[in-house]
A and B are shown apart, each in its own frame.
Chain A
Amino acid sequence: MAHLEAITGRYVNLDIDGLSYRIYFEEAGEGPPLICMHTAGADGRQWRHLLNDEEITSRFRVIAFDLPFHGKSTPPGEWWLSQYKLTTKHYAEVIRQFWQALNLEKPILMGCSMAGAIVLKLAIDHQDELTGIIGLESSAYAPGRYNDFLHHPAVHGGELCASYTLGLCAPDSPEAAKRENWWYYAQGGPGVYAGDVHFYSMDWDVRDQVSKIDTTRCKVSLLSGEYDYSATPEMSEAVAREVKGSQYTMMKAMGHFPMIENYAGLKPYLTEALDHMLS
């Protein structure tokens, strides 16, 4: 039966380092702000189940935005004159500017994969501005995902990036959900996944910083999928060991994309993490 979803979409314009960024975001619900951030090479559509979950949106203002170059967020300035390569510094700055532009008070940041990584950096540097962070598939250091075929003239980048990430899903996750994520990956711009992975596998390393997170000021929940071979459960667990007072849970039969590959499987773990944020 035809029905309208409760999700609304808008654009916000940010000025960062002298460039104007037109950022697309979707939101639903009311309550403490919960900012949800997508994986490398994907976009905010990965959060559609959460944005449509009334049990969550009755408690939280859920907001999912597309990073520049991703989804419906436009590349800035003369983007065609340089190769897209995300950096830790710029990534963190975009996210902080986003919550400041929307006047979000003490938001909860939730990110997955590379976004599950960057939320650690934001908690390290700005913990008094946040209620807490929920890291899905988080890691403090994640080498090994980059290869030149991800952006190569002899390879269909969309198909390769989508297939490269399909196997990050768990075998038991619903097939249609895994294929939906495949589709989102196939729609990424040329070189965008590679540019994100450049951040994730080459620039990213906060192993000597994560212990600075004070969980009495900024709560930390970490959830890791058993079948995630990129940010493995051992990698998330290593972060949890360094962040005293953090919560860590390994999700059985889950892969690298819990919010899109198996939302029903994620829900109980997520509810617990959100309860922790409000405790």
Chain B
Amino acid sequence: MSDTFLSPEWFDAYVSRVNADPEMAAIAKWFNASWFLIADQTRKVICVEAGQITNIVHAPRIDTRAVFGFRAPMATWQKFISKKPPPLHNDFFAMLMRVPEFTIEGESLVAMQNARALQRMMNLMREGA
């Protein structure tokens, strides 16, 4: 279990992981979107350009725009990012189908247009990824 999920330190490691990932380099050239993560009361915006994370907005304002995002209680996120996630929590599509408190918000079309790269980005959140 990660006590630091969504903290600046966690994001430092996560951004490095995503931006150095060879699979992202191969598949995510056209992924251009800012999207958000919400865990309980914490909201963060991830800015992606050409498949690279270019900025993390730790304190989004009213003018911080994001196209889509995922919301879940922190306890649900902890299951998802654990090294060995339990059944129904091993993939964001699994949680969208079977974990009611995990929701997608905003323009889901953009998320699905980038599903392959987005899925890779989500899985890179996992401990030990």
B65 lies within 8 A of chain A by Cβ: no
Contacts of A167 in B (CB 8 A): 90-94, 119
B85 lies within 8 A of chain A by Cβ: yes
A167-B102 Cα distance, complex, nearest whole Å:
16
Contacts of A159 in B (CB 8 A): 115-116
Interface-located stretch among A2-10, A149-157, A207-215? A149-157
Asked whether A170 lies within 8 Å of B90 as measured between CB atoms, the reply is yes
A169-B61 Cα distance, complex, nearest whole Å:
38
Asked whether A227 lies within 8 Å of B90 as measured between CB atoms, the reply is yes
Asked whether A171 lies within 8 Å of B115 as measured between CB atoms, the reply is no
A52 lies within 8 A of chain B by Cβ: no
Asked whether B87 lies within 8 Å of A149 as measured between CB atoms, the reply is no
Asked whether A227 lies within 8 Å of B87 as measured between CB atoms, the reply is yes
Interface residues of chain A: helix, strand, loop or mixed (majority) = loop
Contacts of B112 in A (CB 8 A): 149, 152, 155, 160
Asked whether A155 lies within 8 Å of B98 as measured between CB atoms, the reply is no
- Neighbour of B115 across the interface among A144, A145, A164, CB < 8 A: A164
Total number of B residues with any Cβ neighbor in A under 8 Å: 18
A229 lies within 8 A of chain B by Cβ: yes
A171-B83 Cα distance, complex, nearest whole Å:
10
- Neighbour of A155 across the interface among B84, B88, B90, B109, CB < 8 A: B109
B26 lies within 8 A of chain A by Cβ: no
Contact with A along B79-101 (1 / 0, CB 8 A): 00000110110111110011000
Contacts of A155 in B (CB 8 A): 109, 112-113, 115
A162 lies within 8 A of chain B by Cβ: yes
Contact size class for A?
Answer: 20 to 34
- Nearest-neighbor residue (CB-CB) of B99 within chain A: A229
Contacts of B115 in A (CB 8 A): 155, 159-160, 163-164
Contacts of A163 in B (CB 8 A): 93, 115-116, 119
CB distance from B102 to the nearest CB of A (A): 12
- Neighbour of B113 across the interface among A154, A226, A227, A230, CB < 8 A: A154
- Nearest-neighbor residue (CB-CB) of B113 within chain A: A155
A156-B87 Cα distance, complex, nearest whole Å:
28
Asked whether B97 lies within 8 Å of A230 as measured between CB atoms, the reply is yes
Those of A170-186 within 8 Å (CB) of chain B: 170-172
Contacts of A232 in B (CB 8 A): 98
CB distance from B43 to the nearest CB of A (A): 24
Contacts of B85 in A (CB 8 A): 171
Query: Most chain-B CB neighbours within 10 Å: which of A149, A170, A172?
Result: A149
A167-B115 Cα distance, complex, nearest whole Å:
12
- Neighbour of A166 across the interface among B88, B91, B108, CB < 8 A: B91
Asked whether A166 lies within 8 Å of B119 as measured between CB atoms, the reply is yes
CB distance from B100 to the nearest CB of A (A): 12
Contact with A along B102-120 (1 / 0, CB 8 A): 0000001100110110010
CB distance from B76 to the nearest CB of A (A): 14
Query: Most chain-A CB neighbours within 10 Å: which of B92, B98, B112?
Result: B112
- Nearest-neighbor residue (CB-CB) of A186 within chain B: B116
A230-B108 Cα distance, complex, nearest whole Å:
21
- Nearest-neighbor residue (CB-CB) of B90 within chain A: A171
Given A167-B90, A167-B91, A171-B84, CB of A229 within 8 Å of CB of B98: yes
CB distance from B101 to the nearest CB of A (A): 15
- Nearest-neighbor residue (CB-CB) of B109 within chain A: A154
Q: Mind listing 19 A-B residue pairs with CB under 8 Å?
A: A144-B97, A149-B112, A155-B112, A155-B113, A163-B115, A163-B116, A164-B93, A166-B119, A167-B90, A167-B93, A167-B119, A168-B91, A171-B85, A171-B90, A226-B87, A227-B87, A229-B88, A229-B94, A229-B98
Interface residues of A (CB under 8 A from B): 144-145, 149, 152, 154-156, 159-160, 162-164, 166-168, 170-172, 226-227, 229-230, 232
